Structure 1
Amino acid sequence: MNVLITGYFNETSKERVTGAFPESWTIAIVEPQHIDAFIGEADVLIPEHIQVDDVLLGKAHRLKFVQTGAGYDNVDIEACTARGVWVSNAAGVNANAVAEHIMAFVLSYYKNIPFLDGALKDGADETQLDYAGGELLGKTIGTIGFGAIGSRVAELARAFKMNVLAYDTNKNIKSDDVELVDLDTLIANSDVIAINIFLNESTRNMVDKAFLRKMKKNALLVNTARGPLVSEVDLIDALKNNVIGGACLDVFTVEPLSEDSELRRLSNVILTPHTAGMPDGYKFHETRYRFFVDNISRVGRDDKPLNCLNKV
């Protein structure tokens, strides 16, 4: 089995990822710009930072299966289906990891951990530090999306005695533990808004200038889902002009995040490099890769993969 993985990995990450697969499989981990040299021999593609479209598929002469993480907005499922290529995602596999990352963001922001850590390491006198902090007790967190990640966020937030609002387009969702509301109600009443939905054309740039103006002045926006769900230009403007309190971001419109991005210089922003779903080390999550191996093995046996996305 020839498995091609695209993305940006350091050497340690490559070793860990490669070691997660059977020794008899051939694993190639390449940066996106080098995919053309490898795609023709790949039986399986695990794509990051590339578009799996008809042009790429035309070069993938042996491809049987495209396995993504939770998101699959970079894969043309119809084009894959037309060429007899299975597509699956790993929705839910890293739900707890992402939910914990969201809560770590929220705690770091309200407890001012990055500022205090940096100040003390720079030699500041802790008796003279001027900073604001807060408690989660009694605050309201709103999750946009109430699937595996959103529901786990709700569980963790309730442990801190937070109020939880949830919005989801699936109107069949029921819960006795959170208040299900419409989107505008969630935006207006949440101290923290966590985005936990998939990216598609209806959700692209969902968080725009109008959305941000509906938020509380001191509210926190958390995005660990997909960068293009948020209009980065509008968010930066809102952060610079105190339209909202702050933002915690694990994903960005363009990744890796540009070195000259204004987000890197804003004091009311906490950033991580798209690692929310990788708790076992940079670019690695053992449970996720175990799922990948099991699903690829199913395809190798000519079985239908789990979490199949093909519309047939």
Structure 2
Amino acid sequence: MNVVITGYFNDQSKQRVIQSFPEDWKIQIVEPQQIDEFIGEADVLIPEHIEVNESLLNKAHHLRFVQTGAGFDNVDIEACSNRKIWVSNAAGVNANAVAEHILALILNHYKNISYLDRFMKNREDETKLEYVGGELFGKTIGTIGFGAIGSRVAELAKAFNMKVLAYDTNKNIQSDDVELVDLDTLIKNSDVITINIFLDDSTRNLVDSTFLNNMKNNALLVNTARGPIVCEEDLIKALKDNVIGGACLDVFTEEPLSLDSELRKLGNVVLTPHTAGMPDGTKFHEKRYRFFVQNILRIQRNETPINNLNQV
């Protein structure tokens, strides 16, 4: 089995990833710009930072399976189906890791951890310390999306005695623990809004100037889902003008985030480099790769993969 993985990995990360697969499999980890050199012999593709489109698939002479992480907006599923290539995602596998990351970002914002850490390390005069913070107790958090991640965020938020609002396009979702509301109600009443939905045509630029202007002026926006769900230009303007209280971002319109991005210069933003689902710092999450291996084994046995997004 020839598995090609694209992305940016250091040597330690590559070693851990390769060791998670059976020894007799050929595992090739390549940077996105190198994909054309390797796709021709790949049986399985795990794509990050590339588009799996007609152009790429025309070069994939042996490809049987495309396995993504939680998101699959970079894969042309119809084109894969036409070539009898299975597509599956890993929705829910990283749910707890992402949910914990979301809570960590929220706590960092309200407790000013990043700011206070820099203050102490800069050896500034503690008697002149001034900042605005707060408690989560009694605040309202709204999750846009109430799947595996959104529901886990709700559980964690409840431990802090937060009120939870949830919006989801799936009207069959029911919950006794959160208040299911429409999107406008969630936007206007939440102290914290966390985005936990997939990127598609209906959610691209969902968070625009209108959305941001309807938020509370001290509210926090958290995005660990997909960068293009947020119109970055509108968000930067809103943050500069103090339209909202702040933002915590793990994903961006273009990744890696440009070194010149204005987001890096704003004091009311906390940034992490798309690591919410990989908590150990080496771009490796054991549960995620264990899922990948089991799904590839299903393909070897000519079985339908778990979380399949198409039919072959």
> Could you state the TM-score of these two structures normalised by the residue count of structure 2?
0.99
Q: Does 1:307 pair with 2:295?
A: no
- Letter of the aligned partner of 1:3 in structure 2? V
Bigger mean CA offset, 294-303 vs 223-232: 294-303
Q: Percent of pairs identical after alignment?
A: 75
Query: Please, which runs of 5 or more residues in structure 1 have no aligned partner?
Result: none
Task: Say which SS state the counterpart of residue 206 (structure 1) adopts.
Answer: coil
Question: Which residue matches 2:298?
Answer: 298
Deviates most, 116-125 or 59-68 = 116-125
2:245 matches 1:245: yes
> What is aligned with 1:143?
143
SS of the equivalent of 1:193 reads strand
Tell me, in whole angstroms, the C-alpha distance in 2 between the residues paired with 1:115 and 1:281.
22
- Per-residue CA deviation, residues 184-228 of structure 1 (Å, 9 max, x unaligned), is 000000000000000001100000000000000000000000000
Output aligned runs, 1:18-97, within 5 Å.
18-97=18-97
User: What is the deviation of 1:130?
Assistant: 1.0
- In structure 2, what is the Cα distance between the partners aligned to 1:122 and 1:302? 59
Matched with 2:234 is 234
Give yes or no for contact 1:275–1:282 (8 Å, CA) kept in 2: no
Give the distance between the partners of 1:120 and 1:96, measured in 2 at CA.
Answer: 31
Amino acid at match of 2:233: V
**In 2, distance between residues paired with 1:36 and 1:162?**
49
Residue aligning to 2:179:
179
Structure 2 CA distance, aligned partners of 1:122 and 1:27?
A: 45
2:262 match:
262
Range with bigger deviation, 157-166 or 125-134: 125-134
Aligned AA (1:289) = Y
Query: What SS is found at the alignment partner of 2:126?
Result: coil
Matches within 5 A, 1:114-263: 114-263=114-263
SS in 2 for 1:38: helix
Runs (5+) with no aligned partner, structure 2: none
Whether the aligned pair in 1 keeps the contact of 2:45 and 2:67 (CA below 8 Å) is: yes
Partners of 1:311 and 1:138 lie apart in 2 by 46
- Deviation, 1:133, is 1.1
Which has the higher mean CA deviation after the structures are superposed, 276-285 or 53-62? 276-285
Residue 213 of structure 1 aligns to a residue whose secondary structure is helix
SS in 2 for 1:127: helix
Look up the equivalent residue of 1:227 and give its one-letter code.
G
TM-score (norm 1): 0.99
Tell me the CA shift for residue 126 of structure 1.
Answer: 2.2
Q: What is the alpha-carbon distance in structure 1 between the residues aligned to residue 250 and residue 116 of structure 2?
A: 21
CA contact (8 A) 1:78 1:311 kept: no
| Letter of the structure 2 residue corresponding to residue 293 of structure 1 | V
Name whichever of 4-13 and 250-259 sits farther off: 4-13
Please tell me whether the aligned partners of residues 192 and 219 of structure 2 are also in contact (alpha carbons under 8 angstroms).
yes
Residue 311 of structure 1 deviates from its aligned partner by 4.6
SS of the residue corresponding to residue 33 of structure 1 reads helix
Deviations 1:123-172 (A, max 9, x none): 11223211111000000000000000000000000000000000000001
Q: CA RMSD in A?
A: 0.7
Paired residues, what number? 312
Q: Secondary structure at the residue paired with 1:154?
A: helix
Tell whether the 8 Å contact from 2:86 to 2:311 is kept in structure 1 after alignment: no
The separation in 1 between residues aligned to 2:47 and 2:238, in whole angstroms, is: 33
Which 10-residue stretch deviates more, 56-65 or 272-281? Answer: 272-281
